[in-house]
């Protein structure tokens, strides 16, 4: 069955806001067998909204709109749908009462404009919104369905789950659904990965139930997105597991995740399993490495801490880098990265240490150390024996991307070191 998603809101047509709701909606619809064929973003203009709703109904069995259900005059989704269906808008006093109660619970009087939220195109069913005032609406138009959901993601998400569970899953039951898996890869370029993976994924296209693969590269990381359309999750799981294992065998340990987990989560688990702790000294990554390591809930089990030693003096004073190393090799060099990792690890009394030093740009590059040059050292205590790895990378991209790739590469070096120590 085909679905169309319409994100409503003039702010989504500016450079300031992006429509992320449609990603969550697509994921949920795919899981119950809807194929999203069209996504549109429309501003708060009744005629344009009506036009895209008509296109949606011409294209798909299901049209999901998100946004434009608020109380103000520019929230026009209800009016536009009523106009397209040529039905009147009725006031549903039960909805108005519910909105009024919601205000009363917070000790407030409901402003009169909120009555608008009780307006429903005739024949529509209200969908409860546990996290906000705007109810959603479910509308049946012959064989087609329209679902109206509010814009704020925290309101939209739970309502969408309920609609999918209570209304859409049953409708689509027995039909095929799309299931996905993502392989995340670090340390190899998109073309290297494609070269190694292409023979495998082309073979998987040729089987009775083909597994489709898309290669995506962003922020210096590469992902292989696998998808398969089957009638049951069990059948999909089997096919996806087999395809994933073929790809892993071809690609080796550059694949760090096959279940959606981030590299920071994977590294965290490796450290936790070994009862290790980590301390980091960062220059060009400016704290991003520590920030990403601590994005993982429970990371206090293994993250000891770190310093951002941006200046030469900070490297000497805070990470115990011998000054003469900086003078001799420059601040961006493998010996300095190594000294940062050693100094920080020793100071912290941690079992693993990382040093990152580089040139994030746009200035500061030289002929032998262009912008994007980053030296990373990783140390880990392997049952009393200190193992270390030091590498110099040349990362492409601007400042932000160089910082991000530096943190990823450091975690990947540590991951490989920990994996190989068993």
Of the listed pieces 6-14, 101-109, 246-254, 408-416, which binds ligand ATP according to CB under 6 A? 6-14
Q: Does 21 bind ligand ATP (CB under 6 A)?
A: yes
Query: Minimum distance between the CB of residue 375 and ligand ATP, rounded to whole angstroms?
Result: 40
Q: Does 151 bind ligand ATP (CB under 6 A)?
A: yes
Q: How far apart are CA 70 and CA 117, in angstroms?
A: 7
Q: Does 19 bind ligand ATP (CB under 6 A)?
A: yes
Q: Does 153 bind ligand ATP (CB under 6 A)?
A: yes
Of the listed pieces 19-27, 31-39, 101-109, 219-227, which binds ligand ATP according to CB under 6 A? 19-27
Binding residue (CB under 6 A) for ligand ATP from 3, 4, 6, 7: 7
Of the listed pieces 48-56, 63-71, 118-126, 341-349, which binds ligand ATP according to CB under 6 A? 63-71
Binding residue (CB under 6 A) for ligand ATP from 3, 4, 6, 9: 9
Query: Minimum distance between the CB of residue 265 and ligand ATP, rounded to whole angstroms?
Result: 25
Q: Does 56 bind ligand ATP (CB under 6 A)?
A: no
Q: Does 67 bind ligand ATP (CB under 6 A)?
A: yes
Query: Minimum distance between the CB of residue 85 and ligand ATP, rounded to whole angstroms?
Result: 19
Q: Nearer Cβ to ligand ATP, position 124 or 339?
A: 124
Give the chain as a 3 state SS string: CEEEEEEECHHHHCCCCCCCHHHHHHHHHHHCCCEEEEEEEECCCHHHHHHHHHHHHHHCCEEEEECCCCCCCCCCHHHHHHHHHCCCEEECHHHHHHHHHHHHHCCCCCCHHHHHHHEEECCCEEECCCCCCCCEEEEEECCEEEEEECCCHHHHHHHHHHHHHHHHHHHHCCCCEEEEEEEEECCCCHHHHHHHHHHHHHHHHCCCCCCEEEEEEECCEEEEEEEEEECCHHHHHHHHHHHHHHHHHHHHHHEEECCCCCHHHHHHHHHHHCCCCEEEEECCCCCHHHHHHCCCCCHHHCEEEEEECCCHHHHHHHHCCCHHHHHHHCCCCHHHHHHHHHHHHHHHCCCEEEEEEECCCCCCCCCCCCCCEEEEEEEEEECCEEEEEEEEEECCCCHHHHHHHHHHHHHHHHHHHHHCCC
| Distances, alpha carbon 5 to alpha carbons 2, 59, 301, in Å | 10, 11, 42
Total binding residues for ligand ATP by CB under 6 A?
21
Of the listed pieces 7-15, 193-201, 243-251, 383-391, which binds ligand ATP according to CB under 6 A? 7-15
Q: Does 83 bind ligand ATP (CB under 6 A)?
A: no
Query: Minimum distance between the CB of residue 20 and ligand ATP, rounded to whole angstroms?
Result: 4
Q: How many other C-beta atoms are found inside a 10 Å radius of the C-beta of residue 390?
A: 17
Q: Nearer Cβ to ligand ATP, position 71 or 389?
A: 71
Q: Nearer Cβ to ligand ATP, position 19 or 92?
A: 19
Assess contact for 388 and 378: CB atoms under 8 A. yes
Token pair belonging to 90: 């009725």
Q: Does 282 bind ligand ATP (CB under 6 A)?
A: no
Cβ density class 324-335: b for 16+ within 10 Å, e for less = ebbeeebbbbbb
Assess contact for 226 and 183: CB atoms under 8 A. yes
Q: Does 65 bind ligand ATP (CB under 6 A)?
A: no
Query: Minimum distance between the CB of residue 18 and ligand ATP, rounded to whole angstroms?
Result: 7
Query: Minimum distance between the CB of residue 268 and ligand ATP, rounded to whole angstroms?
Result: 29
Of the listed pieces 60-68, 245-253, 265-273, 306-314, which binds ligand ATP according to CB under 6 A? 60-68
Of the listed pieces 87-95, 150-158, 160-168, 321-329, which binds ligand ATP according to CB under 6 A? 150-158
Query: Minimum distance between the CB of residue 67 and ligand ATP, rounded to whole angstroms?
Result: 3
Q: Does 20 bind ligand ATP (CB under 6 A)?
A: yes
Query: Minimum distance between the CB of residue 191 and ligand ATP, rounded to whole angstroms?
Result: 33
Q: Does 29 bind ligand ATP (CB under 6 A)?
A: no
Assess contact for 254 and 192: CB atoms under 8 A. no
Per-residue x/- marks for ligand ATP, 110-149, CB under 6 A?
Answer: ----------------------x-x---------------
* Binding stretches for ligand ATP (CB under 6 A): 7-9, 11-12, 17, 19-21, 66-70, 75, 132, 134, 150-153
């Amino acid at each position: 069955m085909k679905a169309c998603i319409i994100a409503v809101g003039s702010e989504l047509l500016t450079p300031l806001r992006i429509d992320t709701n449609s990603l969550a909606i697509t994921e949920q619809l795919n899981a119950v067998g809807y194929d999203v064929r069209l996504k549109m973003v429309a501003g708060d203009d009744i005629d344009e909204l009506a036009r895209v709703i008509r296109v949606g109904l011409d294209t798909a069995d299901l049209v999901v709109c998100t946004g434009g259900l608020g109380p103000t005059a520019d929230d026009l989704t209800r009016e536009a749908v009523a106009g397209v269906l040529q039905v009147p808008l009725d006031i549903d006093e039960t909805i108005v009462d519910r909105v009024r109660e919601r205000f009363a619970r917070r000790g407030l009087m409901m402003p009169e404009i909120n009555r608008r939220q009780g307006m429903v195109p005739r024949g529509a069913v209200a969908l409860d919104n546990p996290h906000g005032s705007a109810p959603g609406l479910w509308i049946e138009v012959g064989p087609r369905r329209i679902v109206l959901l509010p814009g704020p993601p925290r309101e939209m998400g739970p309502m969408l789950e309920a609609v999918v569970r209570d209304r859409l899953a049953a409708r689509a039951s027995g039909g095929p659904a799309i299931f996905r898996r993502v392989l995340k890869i670090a340390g190899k370029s998109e073309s290297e990965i494609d070269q190694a993976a292409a023979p495998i994924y082309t073979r998987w296209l040729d089987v009775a139930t083909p597994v489709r693969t898309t290669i995506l590269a962003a922020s210096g990381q590469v992902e292989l997105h696998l998808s398969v359309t089957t009638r049951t999750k069990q059948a999909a799981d089997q096919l996806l597991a087999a395809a994933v294992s073929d790809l892993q065998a071809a690609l080796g340990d550059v694949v760090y995740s096959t279940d959606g987990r981030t590299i920071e989560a994977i590294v965290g688990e490796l450290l936790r399993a070994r009862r290790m702790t980590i301390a980091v000294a960062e220059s060009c990554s400016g704290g991003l490495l520590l920030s990403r390591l601590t994005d993982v809930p429970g990371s206090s089990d293994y993250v000891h801490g770190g310093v951002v030693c941006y200046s030469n003096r900070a490297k000497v004073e805070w990470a115990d880098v011998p000054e003469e190393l900086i003078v001799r090799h420059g601040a961006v060099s493998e010996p300095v990265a190594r000294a940062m990792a050693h100094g920080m690890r020793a100071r912290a009394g941690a079992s693993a240490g990382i040093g990152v030093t580089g040139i994030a740009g746009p200035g500061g590059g030289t002929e032998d150390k262009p912008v994007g040059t980053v030296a990373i050292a990783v140390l880990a205590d392997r049952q009393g024996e200190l193992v270390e790895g030091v590498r110099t990378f040349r990362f492409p991209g601007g400042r932000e991307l160089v910082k991000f790739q530096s943190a990823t590469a450091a975690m990947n070096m540590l991951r490989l070191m920990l994996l190989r120590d068993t």
